[in-house]
């Protein structure tokens, strides 16, 4: 607690940013954990039912994993399976994009926090050095280390705090973004496979 006080007023936005960033990270990690599903196994199970014309069984599988973006998207495709191919593809694309958009919510805010935190730290460095030089100017030749300590503490602590927040947040953010990208690729692949299987089944019947 003492080092936070010694960090000066710039520590306030640094701490607020870290709390907000941590809240976003926990929300995203929790969301990704909830929607996680073995996409290949899930898609294979759904497509197997579709090939046999068991559409209700395929829908039931999708409902079982209702939180998964892939399940939501394939369910929409199955419900609109009688549409022309181009319209069906647009439905799948629209629903898939909506699901990815939901996963990406607040990511922009997290990226902003990651960028701002070290800048706030550098700002604290400048204000701390200004404070130290002002103390030096005031004391003149009788300057002591203790007189400079307050400003130096502020300069060092704020820089360390900003980087301490930004570095792990940056790594976690990259992980979250990579997971969302992977889900997006899986959505596109599963949707394409569904359209192909639906066409095959229509031609057989």
- Per-residue pLDDT tens over the stretch 20-63: 999 999 999 999 998 888 888 999 999 998 888 888 998 999 99
Q: List pLDDT tens digits, range 130-176.
A: 776 676 666 666 666 565 666 677 778 888 899 999 999 999 999 99
What six digits make up the tokens of 137?
């100017």
Retrieve residue 173's tokens: 């953010």
**Phi and psi for 125 in degrees, rounded to 5?**
-60, -45
Strand, helix or coil at 52?
coil
Domain with 159 in it: 2-204
Count of structural domains within the chain: 1
Note whether 153 and 128 are within 8 A (CB): yes
């Amino acid at each position: 607690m003492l080092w936070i006080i010694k960090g000066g007023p710039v520590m306030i936005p640094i701490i607020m940013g870290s709390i907000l960033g941590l809240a976003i990270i926990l929300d995203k990690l929790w969301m990704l954990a909830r929607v996680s599903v073995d996409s290949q196994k899930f898609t294979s199970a759904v497509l197997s039912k579709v090939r046999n014309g068991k559409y209700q069984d395929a829908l039931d599988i999708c409902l079982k994993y209702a939180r998964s973006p892939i399940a939501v998207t394939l369910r929409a495709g199955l419900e609109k399976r009688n549409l022309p191919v181009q319209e069906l593809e647009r439905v799948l694309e629209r629903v898939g994009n909506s699901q990815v958009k939901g996963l990406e919510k607040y990511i922009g805010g997290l990226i902003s926090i990651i960028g701002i935190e070290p800048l706030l730290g550098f700002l604290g460095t400048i204000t701390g050095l200004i404070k130290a030089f002002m103390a030096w100017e005031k004391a003149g030749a009788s300057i002591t280390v203790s007189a400079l300590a307050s400003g130096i503490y502020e300069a060092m602590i704020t820089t360390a705090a900003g980087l301490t927040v930004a570095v792990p947040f940056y790594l976690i953010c990259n992980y979250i973004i990579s997971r969302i990208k992977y889900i997006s690729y899986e959505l596109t692949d599963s949707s394409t496979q569904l359209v192909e299987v639906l066409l095959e089944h229509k031609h057989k019947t």
